[in-house]
């Protein structure tokens, strides 16, 4: 039984839904700026205007779809002559003093104003006088910068800080066309751990990330779905990196293998459309200096030699202990369990602990466990605290966050690590392993939701995938 009609087609609506929600769910597109599925209705951009045909020959009326409750049998037109005319006029208002500096705007290419303008207006500003100037660069926080000329005062960012992050860090100052988005004087926006989301939800290029400012045109970038390893929430994210066909050969080839920016990948089961600021800085986590060379006591060897040496140590050992990484993917952890789980006494290692000054845990997303896959690791290897049994003669350390002074005297050491560290050269066997951006896999978050991450870059030549490396150790371990 159809509830109402959009452009003559029957559409079902849930109770309490607005025309906007029902239309989007049914595959009809109504343009909008200020409306956001996860925020309250502000109804101030006026672009989502639709026409409702009058009943029984009555005259039709128009109103905004985002605030229009569906009523049984109503006939909504999303693209009628009068709707197009009103939309065009509203866009002319918005573009009246818009600087149209898309050429230097980070948002260009993914800007809702650009999209709507081309779809519904297409004409330059019809003002005949010079445009009103405004401040182009307002530092709202250490991370966010505001361009007042581009701002369309949709209040999405303000509502975000009130309804989602609850920092109340932003507000609109003044009134009329002097309205300005400003951060509160007490610096609450600066300490808002979710502040960068306002950059994503800004429908235009008004709020920009200072980190990403003028770093890349978005059409040179591509997004690879991944999982943020920053905490046990395991937010799904898009990791943006340079497209293969726009690879830089001359200017700065390092950019080809750098994460340009991180954005949330909407996932109602885990993180909604948000991520925290720490997740935005994944590029720094993965961009640390890498360990690229297998070593035996600091002597550079090939991966095969390292594997042989590790095999030998394991087969000689009487009582080997393994510290399993909680940053390992489900596949890697399972491979280790199958290959070496019986041979080693295994403990789960917390690779990362909360850093000084970091938000440890909150009600929105951030979890106290700063490792992505503790759930699977503990499921496979238990959650006993680390104690070295008497007679431990071999310690295998996989990943970071281990205090090497705790290694029992006389025990041999196998280290699998991704980043440069002083201990790498002291280990009997050091094997460089690939990082998350170089392999595919899955993490299971604290609530048991498993998410997939895909590789962005190729691994360096002598670096091995931990999963394959464990498999190579099996054969010998079994024979011995």
- 184 binding other proteins? (CB under 8 A): no
**Shortest distance (Å) from residue 440 CB to other proteins:** 45
Distances (CA, A) of 422 to 13, 393, 403, 410: 62, 22, 12, 19
- Bridge-based pairing of strands 9-11 and 49-52 is unpaired
Q: x/- string (CB under 8 A) for other proteins, residues 96-125?
A: xx----------------------------
**Shortest distance (Å) from residue 178 CB to other proteins:** 7
Kindly identify the residues of this chain, within the stretch 232-291, that bind other proteins according to CB under 8 A. Answer: none
Pick the closer one to other proteins by CB: 172 or 312.
172
**Shortest distance (Å) from residue 290 CB to other proteins:** 50
Pick the closer one to other proteins by CB: 83 or 464.
83
Name the residue among 263, 211, 260, 261 with its Cα closest to residue 236. Answer: 263
Q: According to CB under 8 A, which one of 176, 318, 389, 422 is a site residue for other proteins?
A: 176
**What is the rounded distance in angstroms from the CA atom of residue 31 to the CA atom of residue 33?**
7
- 178 binding other proteins? (CB under 8 A): yes
**Shortest distance (Å) from residue 177 CB to other proteins:** 4
- 172 binding other proteins? (CB under 8 A): yes
**Shortest distance (Å) from residue 96 CB to other proteins:** 5
Distances (CA, A) of 165 to 54, 170, 204, 277, 451: 42, 11, 21, 11, 24
Number of residues that bind other proteins (CB under 8 A): 35
**Shortest distance (Å) from residue 121 CB to other proteins:** 13
Give residues with Cβ within 8 angstroms of 473, minimum separation 6. 307, 310, 311, 314, 339, 340
Give residues with Cβ within 8 angstroms of 372, minimum separation 6. 227, 228, 229, 230, 231, 232, 234, 326, 327, 443, 445
User: What is the CA 242 to chain-centroid distance, rounded?
Assistant: 16
Kindly identify the residues of this chain, within the stretch 17-46, that bind other proteins according to CB under 8 A. Answer: 41-46
**Shortest distance (Å) from residue 173 CB to other proteins:** 10
Pick the closer one to other proteins by CB: 35 or 381.
35
In this chain, which stretch among 92-100, 245-253, 336-344, 427-435 interacts with other proteins, using CB under 8 A? 92-100
Pick the closer one to other proteins by CB: 173 or 383.
173
- 152 binding other proteins? (CB under 8 A): yes
**Shortest distance (Å) from residue 43 CB to other proteins:** 4
257, burial (CB in 10 Å: exposed 0-12, middle 13-18, buried 19+): middle
- 153 binding other proteins? (CB under 8 A): yes
**Shortest distance (Å) from residue 67 CB to other proteins:** 5
216 in Cβ contact with 223 (< 8 Å):
no
Q: Two tokens at 236?
A: 């799904």
Pick the closer one to other proteins by CB: 18 or 418.
18
Q: Residue holding tokens 């909604």?
A: 272
In this chain, which stretch among 52-60, 128-136, 207-215, 231-239 interacts with other proteins, using CB under 8 A? 128-136
Distances (CA, A) of 480 to 234, 315, 412, 467, 475: 39, 6, 18, 21, 9
Pick the closer one to other proteins by CB: 23 or 415.
23
- Bridge-based pairing of strands 441-444 and 429-432 is unpaired
Pick the closer one to other proteins by CB: 68 or 276.
68
In this chain, which stretch among 137-145, 148-156, 278-286, 462-470 interacts with other proteins, using CB under 8 A? 148-156
The dihedral sign for the CA sequence 34, 37, 43, 47:
positive
312 in Cβ contact with 229 (< 8 Å):
no
Q: According to CB under 8 A, which one of 23, 48, 77, 94 is a site residue for other proteins?
A: 94
**Shortest distance (Å) from residue 39 CB to other proteins:** 14
The dihedral sign for the CA sequence 374, 377, 382, 386:
negative
**Shortest distance (Å) from residue 90 CB to other proteins:** 6
Pick the closer one to other proteins by CB: 42 or 309.
42
466 in Cβ contact with 398 (< 8 Å):
yes
Give residues with Cβ within 8 angstroms of 272, minimum separation 6. 38, 264, 266
Q: Residue holding tokens 């000689």?
A: 316
Q: Residue holding tokens 């600091």?
A: 298
Q: According to CB under 8 A, which one of 179, 190, 224, 267 is a site residue for other proteins?
A: 179
Name the residue among 302, 317, 323, 304 with its Cα closest to residue 469. Answer: 304
- 134 binding other proteins? (CB under 8 A): no
Cα dihedral 81, 84, 89, 91, rounded to 10, equals 180
**Shortest distance (Å) from residue 63 CB to other proteins:** 9
Pick the closer one to other proteins by CB: 171 or 471.
171
> Using CB under 8 A as the criterion, which residues of the chain lie in contact with other proteins when the complex forms?
41-47, 49, 62, 64, 67, 69, 86, 89-90, 92-94, 96-97, 126-129, 132, 152-153, 155, 172, 174-179
């Amino acid at each position: 039984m159809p509830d109402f009609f959009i452009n003559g087609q029957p559409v079902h609506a849930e109770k309490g839904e607005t025309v906007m929600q029902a239309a989007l769910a049914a595959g009809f597109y109504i343009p909008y700026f200020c409306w956001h599925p996860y925020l309250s209705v502000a109804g101030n951009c006026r672009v989502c205007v639709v026409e409702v045909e009058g009943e029984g020959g009555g005259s039709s009326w128009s109103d905004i779809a985002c605030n229009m409750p569906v009523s049984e049998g109503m006939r909504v037109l999303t693209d009628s002559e009068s709707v197009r005319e009103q939309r065009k006029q509203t866009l002319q208002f918005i573009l009246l003093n818009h600087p149209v500096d898309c050429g230097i705007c980070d948002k260009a290419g993914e800007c809702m104003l650009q999209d709507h303008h081309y779809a519904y207006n297409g004409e330059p500003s019809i003002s005949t006088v010079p445009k009103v100037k405004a401040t182009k660069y307002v530092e709202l926080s250490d991370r966010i910068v505001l361009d007042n000329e581009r701002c369309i005062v949709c209040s999405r960012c303000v509502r975000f800080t009130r309804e989602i992050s609850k920092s109340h860090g932003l507000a609109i100052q003044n009134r009329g066309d002097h309205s300005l988005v400003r951060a509160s004087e007490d610096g609450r926006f600066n300490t808002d751990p979710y502040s960068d989301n306002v950059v994503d939800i800004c429908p235009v290029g008004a709020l920009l990330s200072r980190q990403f400012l003028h770093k890349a045109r978005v059409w040179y970038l591509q997004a690879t779905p991944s999982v943020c390893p920053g905490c046990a929430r395991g937010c799904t994210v898009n990791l943006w990196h340079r497209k293969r066909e726009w690879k830089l050969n001359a200017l700065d080839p390092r950019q080809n293998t750098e994460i340009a920016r991180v954005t949330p990948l909407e996932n109602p089961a885990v993180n909604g459309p948000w991520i925290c600021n720490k997740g935005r800085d994944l590029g720094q986590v993965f961009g640390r200096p890498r360990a690229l060379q297998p070593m035996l006591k600091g002597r550079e060897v090939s991966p095969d030699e390292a594997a042989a040496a590790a095999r030998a140590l394991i087969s000689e050992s009487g009582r080997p202990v393994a510290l399993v990484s909680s940053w390992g993917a489900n596949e890697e952890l399972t491979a280790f369990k199958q290959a070496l789980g019986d041979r080693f006494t295994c403990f789960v290692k917390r690779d990362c602990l909360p850093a000084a000054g970091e938000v440890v845990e909150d009600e929105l997303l951030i979890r106290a466990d700063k490792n992505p896959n503790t759930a699977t690791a503990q499921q496979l290897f238990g959650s006993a605290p680390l104690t070295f049994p008497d007679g431990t003669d071999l310690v295998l350390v996989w990943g970071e966050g281990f205090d090497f002074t705790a290694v029992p005297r006389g025990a041999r050491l196998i280290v699998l690590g991704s980043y440069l560290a002083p201990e790498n050269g002291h280990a009997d066997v050091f094997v460089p392993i690939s990082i998350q951006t170089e392999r595919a896999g899955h993490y299971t978050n604290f609530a048991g939701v498993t998410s997939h991450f895909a590789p962005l870059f190729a691994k360096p030549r002598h670096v091995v995938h931990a999963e394959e490396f464990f498999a190579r150790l099996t054969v010998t371990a079994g024979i011995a």
